[in-house]
Structure 1
Amino acid sequence: MDKARRVLDVGCGDGTLMCRLAGDDFIGVGIDPRFTKPQDVPGVQFVRGNFSDDLPACESFEAIAMLAVIEHVPEGAKAAWASACHRLLADNGRVVLTVPSPRVDAILAVLRFFRLADGTALEEHHGFDPGEVTPLFESAGFSLVTHKTFQLGLNNLFVFTKNA
């Protein structure tokens, strides 16, 4: 994502990714329904709202980040999200997703029980299986570039490309 000059961060949280990527000739949009902290980052627009309905009119993006987001999307909306990514992405652009393993839900439940972790949005995971990611994005017109696990297998990285 370092080389992408136009980036959309879906579920941008506090805007950390956009702040790290910002620089000369960079244009970014971060969108999150829970975004509350206004930031002034040159070339970046933050939107408190829902993907993709509340996105401002803009040119296509070279990259879209969805880091620990898709597991929070209601089952009936996931295909529409993948299609929206395809529509918003430039030819040969990439979608980068991270998705936790279902084992993370059990770990978070224990941490939440002992009040060692905030349970924010845990109920939204819907028992999502990372195995659903590849067919979901391939059916929307993407090709899988890579799928790797990290953090001792508790997290998954997916990178898809939009074919020209």
Structure 2
Amino acid sequence: MEHRLAWYPTPSYLVKRKAIVEFLEKVPVRRVLEVGCGAGDLLRFLAGRGYAGVGIDLSAEAVAAARAIADLSRFRVEQAEVDDVSGIFEVVIASEVLEHCLDDVAFLRKLRRKTAEGGRLILTVPARMAKWGANDELCGHLRRYEREELRARLVEAGFEPLTVVSYGVPIYNLMKPFYDRAVVGKVTEVELLERRTEKSGGMRLLPRLGGLFALLFNDVTMYPFYLIQRLFYRTDLGNGYVAVALNPRGEG
């Protein structure tokens, strides 16, 4: 029997998804590439709103989970690298991917080659090296980003940064120490960085609490936090950044 990840929402994921969707709704687009689609929740969410396209991930386990929950009539899900994907897209989304890349600028250039002229790139990354913790190690992160550093990387890769916002205040800030404490002792030097990265898309810290999380954390219960985080978009107080950038030219 094929093993599939048991996906469930976390508060940190839900506030991130809300920030992504808020920006995506401002762009008149229907064809999307999601790089690092994980267990496929965002694909399912977008399919329900009329978007279509492709989702890719390095993890076979994550791809199997995404194929189980995503609307495959609208999204094709593949275990693939960016260079393996054919075509270009009006929007490319890479959520929690860039921090895994040894050469982040080279990876951004790959994303630009998949972004249509005048199209948008939407990135999410962990914010500020001062917040580095055990969960960063477990997930195979190489860095956390400062706001201006992220802007500079986008410019170097040929994008025009439109906005960088800080998301997750206050609930992600409250959850971050919990996430770090939950994985203390689980990080080993033996496990290759590439394997940590591959696993991170479907990693769940407390899988037995999945049902409880789904009951407690959803768009209804999280709505006040969606409103609150908007008040802090222009600060650097959140635990992550969402960046939106324009591809001003054709294939780079």
- TM-score of the aligned structures, taking structure 2 as reference length: 0.53
Comparing 88-97 and 20-29, the one that deviates more: 20-29
**Is the 1:103–1:154 contact (alpha carbons within 8 Å) kept by the matching residues of 2?**
no
Structure 1 or 2: larger strand share?
1
Q: 2:84 aligns with which of 54, 57, 63?
A: 54
Q: Aligned pair count? A: 148
Q: Does 1:127 align with 2:137?
A: no
SS at structure 2 position matched to 1:126: coil
Alignment map for 1:1-164 (pairs within 5 Å): 1-2=24-25, 3-23=28-48, 26-34=51-59, 35=62, 36-37=64-65, 38-39=67-68, 40-50=71-81, 52-55=82-85, 57-58=86-87, 60-74=88-102, 76=103, 78-101=104-127, 102-106=129-133, 109=134, 120-121=138-139, 124-130=140-146, 131-152=148-169, 153-164=238-249
Instruction: Identify which of structures 1 and 2 has the higher relative contact order when contacts are C-alpha pairs closer than 8 Å and 6+ apart.
Output: 2
Larger Rg: 2
Give 5+ residue unaligned stretches, structure 1.
Answer: 113-117
**Is the 1:23–1:42 contact (alpha carbons within 8 Å) kept by the matching residues of 2?**
no
> How far 1:26 moved relative to its partner?
3.4
Look up the match of 2:199.
none
- Greater than 3 Å deviation, 4+ residue runs: 23-26
SS at structure 2 position matched to 1:18: helix
Structure 1 or 2: larger helix share?
2
Q: Which residue identity is paired with 2:55?
A: G
Identity of aligned residues (%): 30
Partners of 2:38 and 2:108 in 1: how far apart? 20
**Is the 1:22–1:28 contact (alpha carbons within 8 Å) kept by the matching residues of 2?**
no
Partners of 1:132 and 1:119 in 2: how far apart? 21
Cα RMSD after superposing both structures: 2.2
